[in-house]
Structure 1
Amino acid sequence: MLLLRLIYESFSFAANSLTANKLRTILSLLGVTIGIFAIISVFTVIDSLEGFIRDSLNSLGSNMVYVQKMPWTPPEGETEYPFWKYQNRPVPTLEETEEVIRRSQTVDNAAFLFGFGRKVQYGSTTLDNAVIMATSGGLMDVWNLEIAKGRYFTDSEMRTGAPAAVIGHEIADQLFDGLDPVGRTIKIQGQKFNIIGVYTPMGQDAFGTSMDRYIHISVVKSYYMIDVRDRDRGQTICIKAKDNIDSDKFMAELEGIMRTIRRLKPMEENDFALNEVSIVANQFDQFFVVFNLAGAIIGGFSILVGGFGIANIMFVSVKERTKIIGIQKSLGAKRYFILLQFIFEAIVLSVIGGVIGLLLIYAGTIIVNQSTDFTIVLTTGNIINGLMISSVIGFLAGFMPARAAAKLDPVIAINSV
């Protein structure tokens, strides 16, 4: 009952303070509002960005390895990326992809791919420098792709280099403007390609790539269109591991197979890179730790200013209610009652500022989500963090004024002017 009474009186005093001194209260709450808005908005944006990037990394496959000419990150223990060291390495090839599949015991499937830009035409509609993705047949399984209309390549079409193509939905919209693309013919570099399928829309990942914007053809067919011998056009072997395969065993086997294919001597360095998604994920983990720390520091200063504002209004409140405090103490009110009464009032004021800050963030997320392609989500965790931070700030800001009020002599307090 005492706790309920304290809470009720604290709300009553806080409400009176808000209504009796509107300008002073608004200016005091503004600091907490801005502070909560700053720190929670930073955390919200970071969490949304982190989720977006992690989803993009997961789309690359947690059990995937990308065999490429160059590594994604500097060598372990180094900060400088020695690109000159990798510049003269040979590029991966279709033949190496087939050898990896044939020799490996841990590989589920693999696909060889690279991309290049060409002008694409359908009737009078032209796309300049459209991205053509040339791959071997395993891409659909390796990247878990889905067909929305039509079908995927047959093994025969891939091996023989048939003039067939599967396109992304953005390409379909741009070239065919609502028409069904399946069965229609486009021209790429003057050569005709029959559209056999359209991929299910996937959206753009954090790295700016999307199958929605690609025209997918057989790598064998691409050899008649572009020279890839010893030329770096982003040639990559995407290798998918079997389920429940140990990562270290998988990597060790791949390294051994690639060294054997390249005929490297035991003391020679690898002339290829085995890029794992986990490597990039670890780099982003470090980035987000620093980003969160920076956001906490920036928001912390704003919260500190808000705390001083709450402390100021509480000292003024104690001064204005000195006679009331004296009367309460003369009637038997204990020190802890006066102390808790003002602390609760400070917490209530601070939480009100925090709630306003959270409402502003929520309004901001709606505006951003409706006006951009990037999705920001105000999570329950961040809402709880905002309320907890504002409560703590209210407690800290209200403790000293509450302590001063609790120590007042009842006789002196009653007779104060």
Structure 2
Amino acid sequence: MIHFVKQIWESLRFAMQALKANLTRTILSLLGVTVGIFAIIAVFTLVDSLEKNIKSSFSFLGSNVVTVNRFSFGGGGPDYPWWKYFRRPYNNYSEYVFLKDKLKNAEAVAFFAGANTVIQHASNSYQGSNIQGVSFTYQDVYDLPLQEGRFFTELEVNSSRNVAIIGTKISETLFPGQSPLGKEIKMKGGKFVVIGLFEEEGEGIFDIASKDQSCLIPYGSFTKLYYVGNNGIEPSIAVKGKEEDIGMIALENELIGLLRVKRGLKPTQEDNFSLNKSEFIMNTIGSIFDVIGIAGWVIGGFSILVGGFGIANIMFVSVKERTNIIGIQKSLGAKNYFILSQFLFEAIFLSLIGGIAGILIVFLITFIPVGTLDLTLSLKNIILGLGVSSAIGVVSGIVPATLAARLDPVEAIRSV
């Protein structure tokens, strides 16, 4: 075993010496691999960063959540039956209470409705705020990290108190340099006391309202400001599934059964509601970026192919130049695997150096600011780049290394 390790080490040393001795040739050979790995890893880094940013923009949909609405997320196209969905009934508060009491496969159930409005304090105003009236259980369905203050108490929600939780953008506009807690804001003529401040969420790649622009108030307080129901604002019912319910199949089936009972639908009647999973949008986004990822492989694949041929060509030249040395080594007792590993390691090193250079370029690019997009080179992509580089080295070097290992020592020594 020790003898084998020593021979491997000697192979590594010979390979490094050969690469140093022909530095210009080495640099030219690894350019193809560098460009190929750069193209692939750059595309994957961009795709991963875009996907992460877009999915975070849709984080308001929640995780493992089913939403009951009239319309389906996946609708559209000329054959979409809009007239059916428009005729469907709106969700109502009694359905929320019914589901909250009856559902066994749900972690939590929430009821909410939203609108855009102007929020004021003294002479300051914030336009385009996303105001939502929510049930007390809203905090159990959606993640609501607070920077300051607290969520509503059950008493505040049930008694429709005029209290509010606001986002950081609203706070900075209305109360610059101050804490908003305990201060009063105005919406639609109603006065509300701020009891909480959301943690800053930051901007997404799309112009979607984040928690930074949101304002939560109790659902009862919301109905004082807006008309909710048929021909008014459409409320939603959100149901959070249990972790053990993979795909939320059991929850979905139970929801359908209970809603049909509550709405008095006959067995022959079709559902007059849609169950929208947050995973639908996430999976759609993922499938789009899978296609972009394939395009990245195609783009980088051509460069890597050229780089692989370049390395193979250099290795053939290297074998030809060192035929005499190979003959001497074999006459002194060097085994075939020693010669094979010597040239194979040389090809792998050459390819790895090119791959590392490509990854390093991508890493440097991640420091360039690209608007709201946060470019991040993940460990997965680094490992992928090194793995592809190694594979190209093996494929490019195996044939020249095998030819070198099979050389006859006498004929090799006699070659000039």
TM-score normalised to structure 1 length: 0.83
Q: Name the CA shift for 1:139/1:336 in 2 (closer, same or farther; >3 Å).
A: closer
User: Is the 8 Å Cα contact of residues 8 and 338 (structure 2) preserved in structure 1?
Assistant: no
Shift of 1:175: 2.1
SS of 1:263's equivalent?
Answer: coil
How many residue pairs get aligned? The number is 413
SS of 2:225's equivalent?
Answer: coil
Q: Name the CA shift for 1:103/1:334 in 2 (closer, same or farther; >3 Å).
A: closer
Residue type matched to 1:29 in 2? L
Deviating more after overlay: 37-46 vs 169-178: 37-46
Counterparts of 1:96 and 1:7, CA distance in 2: 73
Shift of 1:272: 0.7
- For 1:18-417, list aligned pairs within 5 A: 18-47=19-48, 60-73=61-74, 82-83=81-82, 85-202=84-201, 208=208, 210-231=210-231, 233=233, 235-241=235-241, 247-284=248-285, 286-287=287-288, 289-367=290-368, 372=372, 374=374, 376-379=376-379, 381-417=380-416
Counterparts of 1:321 and 1:304, CA distance in 2: 26
Counterparts of 1:204 and 1:253, CA distance in 2: 37
Structure 2 unaligned residues grouped into runs of 5+: none
Counterparts of 1:413 and 1:80, CA distance in 2: 75
Deviations 1:296-328 (A, max 9, x none): 333333322221121122122123223322333
User: Is the 8 Å Cα contact of residues 19 and 346 (structure 2) preserved in structure 1?
Assistant: no
SS of 1:197's equivalent?
Answer: strand
Q: Name the CA shift for 1:94/1:321 in 2 (closer, same or farther; >3 Å).
A: same
User: Is the 8 Å Cα contact of residues 104 and 254 (structure 1) preserved in structure 2?
Assistant: yes
Residue type matched to 2:365 in 1? G
User: Is the 8 Å Cα contact of residues 45 and 378 (structure 2) preserved in structure 1?
Assistant: yes
Deviating more after overlay: 244-253 vs 191-200: 244-253
Shift of 1:181: 0.5
Shift of 1:97: 1.8
Counterparts of 2:384 and 2:231, CA distance in 1: 53
SS of 1:145's equivalent?
Answer: coil
Cα RMSD of the aligned pairs, angstroms, is 3.5
Deviating more after overlay: 308-317 vs 210-219: 210-219
Structure 1 unaligned residues grouped into runs of 5+: none
SS of 2:195's equivalent?
Answer: strand
SS of 1:223's equivalent?
Answer: helix
Q: Name the CA shift for 1:80/1:35 in 2 (closer, same or farther; >3 Å).
A: farther
Counterparts of 2:34 and 2:192, CA distance in 1: 60
Deviations 1:236-287 (A, max 9, x none): 1112356867944432332223223333222111111112334445545544
SS of 1:127's equivalent?
Answer: strand
Counterparts of 2:369 and 2:175, CA distance in 1: 31
Deviations 1:36-76 (A, max 9, x none): 2233344444455566677788875555321111122259x
Counterparts of 1:28 and 1:80, CA distance in 2: 56
User: Is the 8 Å Cα contact of residues 122 and 185 (structure 1) preserved in structure 2?
Assistant: yes
Residue identity (%): 44
Counterparts of 2:238 and 2:205, CA distance in 1: 19
Counterparts of 1:378 and 1:338, CA distance in 2: 37
User: Is the 8 Å Cα contact of residues 132 and 216 (structure 2) preserved in structure 1?
Assistant: yes
Counterparts of 1:277 and 1:341, CA distance in 2: 54
Q: Name the CA shift for 1:348/1:112 in 2 (closer, same or farther; >3 Å).
A: same
Deviations 1:117-137 (A, max 9, x none): 112222332222222122233
User: Is the 8 Å Cα contact of residues 310 and 398 (structure 1) preserved in structure 2?
Assistant: yes
Counterparts of 1:405 and 1:80, CA distance in 2: 66
Counterparts of 2:136 and 2:279, CA distance in 1: 26
User: Is the 8 Å Cα contact of residues 7 and 344 (structure 1) preserved in structure 2?
Assistant: no
SS of 2:73's equivalent?
Answer: coil
Q: Name the CA shift for 1:312/1:385 in 2 (closer, same or farther; >3 Å).
A: same
Deviations 1:200-228 (A, max 9, x none): 34556788453232011233333343344
Residue type matched to 2:139 in 1? M
Q: Name the CA shift for 1:38/1:234 in 2 (closer, same or farther; >3 Å).
A: farther
Counterparts of 2:311 and 2:232, CA distance in 1: 62
Deviations 1:363-407 (A, max 9, x none): 3344469x755362421x443333232222111111222233334
Deviating more after overlay: 48-57 vs 287-296: 48-57
Deviations 1:133-153 (A, max 9, x none): 222332122224244323333
Counterparts of 2:326 and 2:244, CA distance in 1: 70
User: Is the 8 Å Cα contact of residues 14 and 349 (structure 1) preserved in structure 2?
Assistant: no
